[in-house]
Amino acid sequence: MLRANNFELAPTLEDLFASEEFYSVRSVGTQIKSPVQLVVGAHRELGIKDGNYPFLAQAVRNMGQDLFQPPNVKGWDGGRTWVNAGRVFVRYNAIAEALESAPRPGGQGGDYWTNPVEARWRSPRLDASFPGALRRPLAA
């Protein structure tokens, strides 16, 4: 794929992210995002410029990643350690907070849980992955 795009990274990544294999059942859910990846990625995807930073910092801490306080020199283990019975609800609430803060036509924030049709920030990737995010079993 890289050779086919003359070693240009942007078109290679576009091809990768547009491929069916990238979103296949075999691929989806194989990487569990760290708390920072989850929160920052959601804010970028939703176009949020001014988030509730104290809440987000506490949420990241409650998810097991206390910023600038790694458990050791190596850092955090990651993977399945980010998800357990307690942390999955913190992850869900952090995303809910981001969705409520997302810009929408006519004002700041919105109720995307009950009226997702209004959302102009929607992206095909988010639409495809978010509804089943908590229903899909984690990869072994």
- Report the alpha-carbon distance of residue 101 to residue 95 in Å, rounded: 10
- In a 10 Å sphere around its CB, with 0-12 CB exposed, 13-18 middle and 19+ buried, how is residue 61 labelled? middle
Share of the chain above pLDDT 90, in %: 9
- Report the alpha-carbon distance of residue 12 to residue 94 in Å, rounded: 31
- Please give the pLDDT value at position 107: 57
C-alpha 84: how far from chain center: 17
Per-residue pLDDT of 109-126, as tens digits, reads 544 444 444 444 444 444
- Please give the pLDDT value at position 34: 92
Nearest residue to 64 via CA among 42, 36, 44, 92: 36
Per-residue pLDDT of 77-105, as tens digits, reads 988 888 888 888 888 888 888 877 777 66
The number of residues in the chain equals: 140
